[in-house]
A and B are shown apart, each in its own frame.
Chain A
Amino acid sequence: MKKKILVANRGEIAIRIMRAIQELDYEAVAVYETPDKDSRHIRLASEAVLLGDGPRCDYLNIEKIIKAAKRTGACAIHPGYGFLAENPDFAKACEKAGIIFIGPTSEVISNLGNKVIARRIMAEAGIPMVPGTSNLSAGEDGVQEALAFAGKYAYPIMLKATCGGGGRGIRLIESDEQMRKEIPVARSEAKAAFNDESVYLEKVVINPKHVEVQIIADKEGTTIHLGTRDCSIQRRNQKLIEIAPSMIGNKELLEEICQTAVKAAKASNYTNAGTVEFLIDKDYKYYFMEINTRVQVEHTVTEMVTGIDIVRTQIKLALGKPLSFSQDDIQLRGHAIEMRLNAEDPQADFMPEGGKTVSVYRSPGGYGVRLDGFVYQGYTIPQVYDSLLVKLTVHGFTWNETVSRLRRCLQNFEISGPKTTIPFYLNIVEDPDFIKGDFNTSFLETHPQLFEYKEEPNEAEKLSKLIAEIHHRGLNPYAL
Chain B
Amino acid sequence: MERIIQGTAPSEVVAQLRKADGYYMTNTARDLSQSDFKNRILLHTDMLAAPSRERAGYFSLEITGGASVHVDILRKQVDPFLKLELLREKMPNTMFQTLCRGVNLFGYRPYPQNVIRFTVREFAKYVDVWRTFDFMNHVPNMQAVFEEVAKAGKINEPCICFSTGPEHTDDFYVKKVKEIIDVTGADIILCIKNHGGLGSPQRIGQLVNAIKQSYSDLPIHYHGHNTDGNDIGRIAAAVINGASIVDASDSSMTGYYGPPPSLTVIQTLKELGYNAVGIDEDAVIETSEVIRDQRQYYAAFESQIKGFQPTVQIHKLPGGAMGSSLEQAAKGGFLDKMPDILHKELPRVQKELGNYWSVTPGSQILWTTAVANVQGGERYGNPSGDLRNLLLGKYGPFPFYQPEEWIYEKVLGADWKKVLEQEGGMDEIEDMDLEQERTTLSEKIGVEPTDQQLVLYLQHPNDAVNFFKFEEKFGKVYVLPPSIFLHQGKFNEGSSLSFTDHFGKEHVIEIGPSMVNEDGESNVYLNVDHHQRIYSFAPEATEGVVVATVLSKEEIQTLAKNGDIRAPFAGNICEISVKEGQEVAAGEQVAMMEAMKMQTPVVSAIAGIITTISVKVGDAIKPGAKIAKVDIDE
The answer on a CB contact under 8 Å between A479 and B40 is yes
Given the complex of chains A and B, what is the CA–CA distance between A18 and B598 in angstroms?
A: 25
The answer on a CB contact under 8 Å between A466 and B474 is yes
The answer on a CB contact under 8 Å between B75 and A472 is no
- The one of A385, A414, A478 in contact with B596, judged by C-beta atoms closer than 8 angstroms, is A385
CB contact under 8 A between A384 and B570, given known A238-B597, A478-B77:
yes
CB contact under 8 A between A470 and B529, given known A460-B501, A479-B40, A479-B76:
no
Query: What's the nearest-Cβ distance from chain B to residue A341, in Å?
Result: 14
Q: Which residues in B have their C-beta under 8 angstroms from that of A370? A: none
Given the complex of chains A and B, what is the CA–CA distance between A56 and B484 in angstroms?
A: 49
Given the complex of chains A and B, what is the CA–CA distance between A82 and B595 in angstroms?
A: 12
Is there a chain A Cβ closer than 8 Å to B15's Cβ? no
Is there a chain B Cβ closer than 8 Å to A357's Cβ? yes
A442-464 interface (Cβ within 8 A of B): 459-464
The answer on a CB contact under 8 Å between B535 and A352 is no
The answer on a CB contact under 8 Å between B599 and A478 is no
Q: Which residues in A have their C-beta under 8 angstroms from that of B490? A: 471, 474
**Which of B87-95, B333-341, B346-354, B616-624 lies at the binding interface?**
B616-624
Q: Mark A326-363, 1 if CB is under 8 A from B, else 0.
A: 00000000000000001010000111101101011010
Given the complex of chains A and B, what is the CA–CA distance between A470 and B524 in angstroms?
A: 11
Is there a chain B Cβ closer than 8 Å to A34's Cβ? no
CB contact under 8 A between A469 and B537, given known A359-B523, A464-B528, A480-B75:
yes
Residue of A nearest to B489 (CB): A474
Q: Which residues in B have their C-beta under 8 angstroms from that of A387? A: 595-596, 598
Q: Mark B99-141, 1 if CB is under 8 A from A, else 0.
A: 0000000000000000000000000000000000000000000
The answer on a CB contact under 8 Å between A351 and B600 is yes
Residue of A nearest to B528 (CB): A464
Given the complex of chains A and B, what is the CA–CA distance between A385 and B570 in angstroms?
A: 8
CB contact under 8 A between A168 and B470, given known A238-B599, A463-B501, A470-B487:
no
Q: Which residues in B have their C-beta under 8 angstroms from that of A462? A: 473-475
Q: Mark B31-64, 1 if CB is under 8 A from A, else 0.
A: 0000000001000000000000000000000000
Given the complex of chains A and B, what is the CA–CA distance between A78 and B504 in angstroms?
A: 56
Is there a chain B Cβ closer than 8 Å to A189's Cβ? yes
The answer on a CB contact under 8 Å between A479 and B77 is yes
Is there a chain A Cβ closer than 8 Å to B406's Cβ? no
Q: Which residues in A have their C-beta under 8 angstroms from that of B489? A: 474-475
Residue of A nearest to B535 (CB): A468
Is there a chain B Cβ closer than 8 Å to A253's Cβ? no
What is the number of contacts between chain A and chain B, taking CB atoms within 8 Å?
159
Q: Mark A57-87, 1 if CB is under 8 A from B, else 0.
A: 1000000000000000000000000100000
The answer on a CB contact under 8 Å between B536 and A189 is no
- The one of A82, A189, A459, A471 in contact with B511, judged by C-beta atoms closer than 8 angstroms, is A471
Q: Which residues in A have their C-beta under 8 angstroms from that of B532? A: 360, 362
Query: What's the nearest-Cβ distance from chain A to residue B621, in Å?
Result: 10
The answer on a CB contact under 8 Å between B569 and A479 is no
The interface size of chain B toward A, counting residues with CB under 8 Å, comes to 64
Q: Which of B479, B514, B572, B599 has the most CB of A within 10 A?
A: B599
CB contact under 8 A between A350 and B486, given known A459-B503, A468-B524, A479-B75:
no
- The one of B479, B575, B597 in contact with A82, judged by C-beta atoms closer than 8 angstroms, is B597
Is there a chain A Cβ closer than 8 Å to B505's Cβ? yes
Is there a chain B Cβ closer than 8 Å to A192's Cβ? yes
Given the complex of chains A and B, what is the CA–CA distance between A219 and B624 in angstroms?
A: 50
The answer on a CB contact under 8 Å between A463 and B507 is yes
B470-489 interface (Cβ within 8 A of A): 470, 473-477, 479-480, 484-489
Given the complex of chains A and B, what is the CA–CA distance between A223 and B511 in angstroms?
A: 60
Q: Which residues in A have their C-beta under 8 angstroms from that of B509? A: 460, 463-464, 467
Is there a chain B Cβ closer than 8 Å to A184's Cβ? no
Residue of A nearest to B596 (CB): A386
Q: Which residues in B have their C-beta under 8 angstroms from that of A470? A: 484-485, 487, 491
Q: Which residues in A have their C-beta under 8 angstroms from that of B40? A: 479
Q: Mark A372-411, 1 if CB is under 8 A from B, else 0.
A: 0000000000011111000000000000000000000000
The answer on a CB contact under 8 Å between B618 and A192 is yes
CB contact under 8 A between A461 and B598, given known A467-B484, A478-B75, A479-B40:
no
Is there a chain A Cβ closer than 8 Å to B499's Cβ? yes
Given the complex of chains A and B, what is the CA–CA distance between A474 and B488 in angstroms?
A: 6
The answer on a CB contact under 8 Å between B480 and A189 is no
Given the complex of chains A and B, what is the CA–CA distance between A352 and B623 in angstroms?
A: 11
Residue of B nearest to A188 (CB): B617
B374-432 interface (Cβ within 8 A of A): none
Is there a chain A Cβ closer than 8 Å to B531's Cβ? yes
CB contact under 8 A between A459 and B501, given known A56-B620, A465-B473:
yes
CB contact under 8 A between A166 and B597, given known A460-B505, A460-B528:
yes
Given the complex of chains A and B, what is the CA–CA distance between A167 and B599 in angstroms?
A: 9
Is there a chain A Cβ closer than 8 Å to B260's Cβ? no
Query: What's the nearest-Cβ distance from chain A to residue B411, in Å?
Result: 33
A459-B475, A463-B475 provided; 14 other pairs, C-beta below 8 A?
A55-B620, A57-B620, A342-B598, A360-B531, A384-B595, A459-B503, A459-B505, A459-B507, A460-B501, A467-B484, A470-B484, A471-B524, A474-B489, A475-B487
What are 21 of the A-B contact pairs (CB < 8 Å)?
A189-B575, A189-B617, A350-B598, A350-B600, A352-B598, A355-B623, A357-B536, A383-B623, A384-B570, A384-B620, A386-B596, A386-B598, A416-B533, A459-B503, A463-B479, A471-B490, A472-B535, A474-B490, A475-B487, A479-B485, A480-B75
